[in-house]
Amino acid sequence: MEMAVTDSSYSTPKWWKEAVVYQIYPASFQCQSGVTSGWGTIKGITSRLDYLKSLGIDVVWSSPILKSPQADMGYDIADYKQIDERYGSLEDVDELIAELKKRDMKLMMDLVVNHTSNEHPWFLESRASRESPKRNWYIWKKPKSIGQDGVPEPPNNWAQILGEANSAWTYDEKTGEFYLSLFTPEQPDLNWENPEVRAAVWEVMHFWMKRGASGFRMDVINLISKEPNYPDADIVLGPGHRYQPGVKYFVNGPKLHDYLREMYREVLSKYDTITVGEMPGVSDEKEILRSVGADSEELRMIFIFDLVDIDKPDVRMALKPWDIKEMKSIITKWQRVMIRDNGWNSVFIENHDNPRSVSRYTDDSDEWREKGAKLLALMQTTLGGTLFVYQGEEIGIRNAPKTWDISEFKDIETINYWKKCEQLYANDKEKLAFGRKIIDMKARDHARTPMQWTAGENAGFCDPGTKPWMRVMDDYQTVNVEAQLKADNQTDLSVWQFWQGALKQRKDHADVFVYGGFQELYPDDQEVFAYVRTSIKGGRWLVVLNFSGRELEWVMPQGLEIESWVSTNYAKGAPDKPKQSGVPLKSWEGILGRCV
């Protein structure tokens, strides 16, 4: 059934709906010349704005650049108003904002306020004594009991998210209580029940808006309200696991919407913002629409995790089988829900917490990588919602090679996971190899390798002779920006050139691709994802994506006829294909056409 746009609010034009957002992982984007730390910098970002503009980017979202001990790569903030020295200074951010403005571009900050760093002065004060005026800024609880060995037991059985072998509670010797630290002990959870905490967050948000930011990506924002009784979680992880995922008790908790509405009232309603809430673990339509429905007064949009968690069972570092049909149904579901119920959504398949899309959803071999990356570009640029592109996705960077030594992986989640594997499976080679396979497929590190700018030393990410903080991919001499920008194949486009054209097309036809209706064709097809987008001004476009390495013939449904084919990921310009009935598709081929 066609999901037609009937009410105006879904298709009411807004800059933040049409904008294309580019996510930067600042440690790995661009180191500035002369800097020897091997970390990217803010000045490095500023130096690449013309590059981003020419790709078709409107908004830059950088993962955290604020002062941080970097236990979790900046998602542990020690000062919400200071820039981490590795990245630069406040003046550098002012310059970045000014340079963005000159180019009619905007900056989105990463707002990490479910937790702070354990080195944030708020936490240091909170931890100082049970009587501290800031004690109640974090979540402190007495031990459940004292074990026979005299070791205090945590208040419940929740597992730490970035290391499920550990408790989500950290014991503080000095005051004899535990604090909640859902991600790592270095990331204590703020107590949002406390109005002083909320006021402090609103103040931070005003600070950045006044400084020239245009909005926020909000880190795990659906975790800020916890079930007040802190019940034990159900046992879902097998033997050997002492702690269990407590998600049910803190994902979209009881007061989430109260807090988000207060945030809107106190801060967001006063500016013209772009906001996207990171909301893992929630798939319920009604619940999601409470945040992103046209009249919700909470957030403009959220990141829904159904697609990037397609291979996730109970915990992220694990595998679950999935297929293309399931992928199609997830995408279709959310396209339809937002149109039907006047919500708004983001479109994304990569970020700094997920493996590379070309490796995950297509075939990243030398033979097919470019086709796969362009196929995903064609899909994303023709879906409704605000589009997010992750650094390196525009050149089809793939996952780190399986041959890398485990020491090349720097992420705390991977390190904790591997430690657990080594402990649990010391005498079981097969299980240990499976643990490594999970890292090869899912580690967050895959998205965090340095950006591949050139074929020169360090891929142009940092000066020759400087050691990058994380190893550069081995394939940078063939997969890099410079090569793809100047590629002048007579018949085909590089991945970058394809993205650039596809983004332009999306903007030129926002009435179709951003705001239009959506109808999936052949939902049961196991290989081909095909859909019709209907312009709000009238006129239909057809997208056919072969998500298989097989050549096949796709049958045009009755009543549909192509007026002209527009593009393919196989060649410059329009493909030469039949306009009715049987349409041959090559392996991983995607095509776009205008219907009669």
- Choose between 112 and 542: whose C-beta lies nearer to ligand GLC: 112
CB of 443 to ligand GLC, least distance (A): 12
Q: Which of 3, 66, 111, 220 binds ligand GLC (CB under 6 A)?
A: 220
> Of 72, 189, 219, 511, which residue is the catalytic one?
219
Residue 75 binds ligand GLC (CB under 6 A): yes
Least separation in angstroms between residue 180's CB and ligand GLC is 13
Q: Is 445 in the site for ligand GLC (CB under 6 A)?
A: no
Closest CB 278 distance from ligand GLC, rounded Å = 6
Q: 38 vs 280, which CB is nearer to ligand GLC?
A: 280
Cα–chain center distance at 280 = 10
Select the residue interacting with ligand GLC from 10, 137, 158, 183 (CB under 6 A): 183
Closest approach of Cβ 413 to ligand GLC, in Å?
7
| Residue 280 CB-half CA count within 13 A | 16
Binding-site size, ligand GLC (CB under 6 A) = 9
Binding mask 315-334 for ligand GLC (x = CB under 6 A): --------------------
Q: Is the dihedral of CA 110, 114, 117, 119 positive or negative?
A: positive
The site string for ligand GLC over 228-267 (x = CB under 6 A, - otherwise) reads ----------------------------------------
Q: 219 catalytic, yes or no? A: yes
CA angle 412, 301, 374 (to 5 degrees): 70
Give the residue among 123, 103, 98, 233 at the shortest CA–CA distance from 174.
Answer: 123
Min CB(112)–ligand GLC separation in Å: 6
Q: Distances in Å between the alpha carbon of 397 and those of 128, 449, 452, 558, 566? A: 46, 9, 8, 39, 26
Can you tell me which of 186, 262, 350, 353 binds ligand GLC, judged by CB under 6 A? 353
- What is the C-alpha separation between 559 and 528, in angstroms, rounded? 19
Residue 220 or 395 with smaller CB distance to ligand GLC: 220
φ/ψ region of 62 (left if φ > 0, alpha if ψ in -120 to 50, else beta) reads: beta
Task: Round to whole Å and give the CA distance between 543 and 550.
Answer: 18
Q: What is the distance between the alpha carbons of residues 225 and 209, in angstroms, rounded to a whole number?
A: 24
- In angstroms, what is the minimal distance from the CB of 229 to ligand GLC? 24
| Residue closer to ligand GLC, measured from CB, 280 or 396 | 280
Based on CB atoms, which residue is closest to ligand GLC, 125 or 309?
309
Q: Which of 45, 100, 112, 545 binds ligand GLC (CB under 6 A)?
A: 112
- Cβ(225)–Cβ(290) under 8 Å? no
Q: How far apart are CA 25 and CA 73, in angstroms?
A: 10
Pick between residue 10 and residue 75 the one whose CB is nearest to ligand GLC: 75
- Which residues, 6 or more positions from 430, have their beta carbon under 8 angstroms from its beta carbon? none
Q: Does 554 bind ligand GLC (CB under 6 A)?
A: no
Residue whose pair of structure tokens reads 């760093």 in the numeric block = 117
Residue 72 binds ligand GLC, judged by CB under 6 A: yes
In the set 92, 177, 189, 219, which binds ligand GLC (CB under 6 A)?
219
The residue among 352 and 577 lying less far from ligand GLC, judged by its C-beta, is 352
Catalytic residue among 278, 353, 520, 525: 278
Buried b (16+ CB within 10 A) or exposed e, 79-93: bbeebbebbbeeebb
Restricting to residues 261-290, which ones interact with ligand GLC according to CB under 6 A? 278
d(CA 415, CA 71): 12
Classify burial at 102, counting beta carbons within 10 Å of its beta carbon; exposed 0-12, middle 13-18, buried 19 or more.
exposed
Kind of pairing between the strands at 540-546 and 590-595: antiparallel
Closer residue to ligand GLC in complex, CB, 216/531? 216
DSSP letters along 187-235, please? Answer: SPBB-TTSHHHHHHHHHHHHHHHHTT--EEEETTGGGSS--TT-PPPP-
Please give the helix or strand (H or E) that residue 262 lies within, else none: helix 256-266
Shortest Å, Cβ 353 to ligand GLC:
5
Q: Which residue is nearest to ligand GLC (CB)?
A: 75
Q: Does 443 bind ligand GLC (CB under 6 A)?
A: no
Active site residues: 219, 278
Residues that bind ligand GLC (CB under 6 A): 72, 75, 112, 183, 219-220, 278, 352-353
